[in-house]
Amino acid sequence: MILSSSIGKKLGMALTGLLLFGFLLAHLSGNFLLLKGDGGATFNAYSEFLVGHPLLIPVEFILLGIFLLHIVLAISVARDNRRARPVGYRVSASVGGRSVSSRTMIYSGLTTLIFVAVHLKTFKYADHAGDSLYGLVVTTFTSELYVGGYAVAMVLLGFHLWHAFQSAFQTLGLHARPRLRGLSIGLCILIAGGFAMIPLAIYLGK
Amino acid sequence: MSAGSQAEAAVSTERRASGMTFTLEIWRQRNADDPGRMVAYEATRVSPDMSFLEMLDLLNEELMRKGEEPFAFDSDCREGICGMCGLVINGVAHGPGTGTTTCQLYMRLFKNGSRIRVEPWRARAFPVVRDLVVDRSAFDRIIQAGGYTSVNTGSAPDANATLISQARAEEAMDSAACIGCGACVASCKNASAMLFVAAKVKHLGVLPQGQPERRQRGVTMLETMQEEGFGNCTNEYECEAVCPKEISTSNIAFLNREYIRNLVSLSSLRPLVTSE
Ligand code: HEM
Ligand code: SF4
Ligand code: FES
């Protein structure tokens, strides 16, 4: 019921989206351990701690649910919106707040989905018996293709986050766009730049 | 008079004498089933002081003189208060100029000799009737779904019977300024009517007279908006930029808060009180 109403869908997207922001920040702080320069000891310990944790599986399911809900709602909203204007304009101009980021949300979102699938296959569900996770990460990031692809995916994610962050607050009833502009840009540079920097650092450090 | 404004005056005197010339591309469509097309016309001897609609009138008279069929467009008050005259001009709802309707747009804002493209509002919920005229009755149905207050009829109440602070009255008036023109829908990439609905919901929702229906208003108007085929808001703020009444998207944030408040308030019996 709620999730079929126009604002309900957007509320669902805003809440799940902000939770995903939280996940990204947590994930990023974990990844920074890769740069500690101790041959991966801390990172491996951290990864083993997570893998052994009894709450890991339930938390993963919750995360998957949040992610899927966000995507299902995003696709539903995008589909409604496409139907709402069957005949377009011959000439159209933007005089308001549209940005590259806002007009490409569904595409930056979908590329993120593809990235996540590849990413899970490479690191989470990879067969790395005999090698630590750190070892796997370091070997993977010797490939230019992988490092480059990763960076591109992060730029696209950054574009998604740029519009998403301030948009979520408006959806939640907080009209704070001018005040949030700096924070929005800062966060998306931190998250996208942070994630993209790690493989680059590993690649250059080799 | 400064040299600059003297030069400007000289230019506009010259233009007044000879008139401005434009190439207009106008959307022509016989009826809802006709696919429609852009047709080019030359508008000559246009005075810079003409409104956009007067320029269109001039062109139509010219067409009729030549025995061609004039094109249809809507207008009524021609003073920016009725909301009938919406046109998309060079891709912008109500054309260049901020806070104005098409009827209040003057030709001096356009470059002499330029090409001007004129299209109707585009939205599934606003079907084209003919040429530049669209059917905006979807807005009426949204209003019927909740954009009203129940009042006792009879003699007019005393002006001081219901006290409303100046600040509150101003806030309500800012939202009440919406004339239902539909430019917000036309400019929204999702053809969403969120700014219109939000303006109505806020206008009534912040006043004591609007309290009896406050709880359902946002929900029913929003449901009707969806049923009529308008899209969902994605917070891109194109609407407020073209709104002739400069309705702010803070109204949409208000509507979102109303929606959340309805979801989280436990008892449907508890009246919503406005806190000043
Ligand atoms: C994986 C596939 C994803 C898809 C298909 C997707 C798609 C979308 C779309 C279409 C929107 C609506 C844009 C708008 O309101 O204009 C959106 C909004 C949003 N997305 Fe995503 N996204 C994805 C992943 C993510 C991720 C990983 C995050 C978290 C970091 C995220 C955070 C957000 C937020 C916070 C919003 C704002 C909600 C609102 O406007 O109220 N999205 N997403
Ligand atoms: S909100 Fe502004 S643009 Fe939308 S219908 Fe009202 S006056 Fe027109
Ligand atoms: S004709 Fe009434 S607002 Fe333009």
Query: Of A84, A88, A99, which has the smallest distance from its Cβ to B230's Cβ?
Result: A84
**CATH homologous superfamily for the domain B137-268:** Alpha-helical ferredoxin (1.10.1060.10)
Does residue B235 contact residue B253 with C-beta atoms inside 8 Å?
Answer: no
Residue A186 has pLDDT above 70, yes or no: yes
**CATH homologous superfamily for the domain B3-129:** Beta-grasp domain (3.10.20.30)
Contact list, A9 vs chain B (CB under 8 Å): 232
Six-digit token pair at A137? 């990460």
Contact list, B222 vs chain A (CB under 8 Å): 5-7
Residue A197: CB partners within 8 Å, gap ≥ 6? none
Q: Residue A178's pLDDT is what?
A: 75
Q: Which of B245, B151, B264, B266 is nearest to B198 (CA)?
A: B245
Q: Residue B10's pLDDT is what?
A: 56
Which numbered ligand comes closest to the C-alpha of B76?
3
From chain A residues 83-112, the ones with a CB under 8 A of any chain B CB are 83-99, 102-103, 105
pLDDT digits (tens, 9 = 90+) for A58-84: 999 999 999 999 999 999 999 999 999
- In chain A, what is the greatest distance between 2 CA atoms, to the nearest angstrom? 60
Per DSSP, helices labelled H in chain B are 3-18, 52-65, 137-144, 166-176, 183-187, 194-205, 214-227, 238-242, 250-264
d(CA B259, CA B219): 7
Ligand 1 midpoint to CA A109 (Å):
6
pTM attached to this predicted model: 0.91
Q: How many beta carbons lie within 10 A of that of residue A9, not counting itself?
A: 20
- DSSP type of residue A87: S
d(CA B45, CA B55): 9
d(CA A31, CA A23): 12
CB contact under 8 A, A83 and B192: no
Among protein residues, the one with the nearest Cα to ligand 1's atom 6 is: A109
Which numbered ligand comes closest to the C-alpha of A11?
1
Map out the domains of chain A as residue ranges: 2-204
Q: Residue B4's pLDDT is what?
A: 53
CB contact under 8 A, A96 and B237: yes
Six-digit token pair at A149? 């692809």
Report the mean per-residue pLDDT for chain B.
91
Q: Residue A180's pLDDT is what?
A: 87
Q: Which of B104, B143, B145, B137 is nearest to B121 (CA)?
A: B137
Q: Residue B158's pLDDT is what?
A: 86
- Which of B247, B251, B252, B255 most suits a substitution to test ligand 2, by most atoms within 8 Å of the C-beta? B247
Residue A164 has pLDDT above 50, yes or no: yes
Tell me phi and psi for residue A38, to 5 degrees: -110, 30
Does residue B163 contact residue B176 with C-beta atoms inside 8 Å?
Answer: no
pLDDT category of residue A130 using cuts at 50, 70 and 90: confident
Map out the domains of chain B as residue ranges: 3-129, 137-268
In words, the CATH class of domain A2-204 is mainly alpha
- In chain B, what is the greatest distance between 2 CA atoms, to the nearest angstrom? 70
Report the mean per-residue pLDDT for chain A.
94
Ligand 1 midpoint to CA A125 (Å):
25
Hey, is the C-beta of B88 within 8 angstroms of any chain A C-beta? yes
Ligand 1 midpoint to CA A175 (Å):
18
Residue A159: CB partners within 8 Å, gap ≥ 6? A100, A101, A104, A108, A188
Spans in chain B with pLDDT lower than 50: 1, 267, 269, 272-276
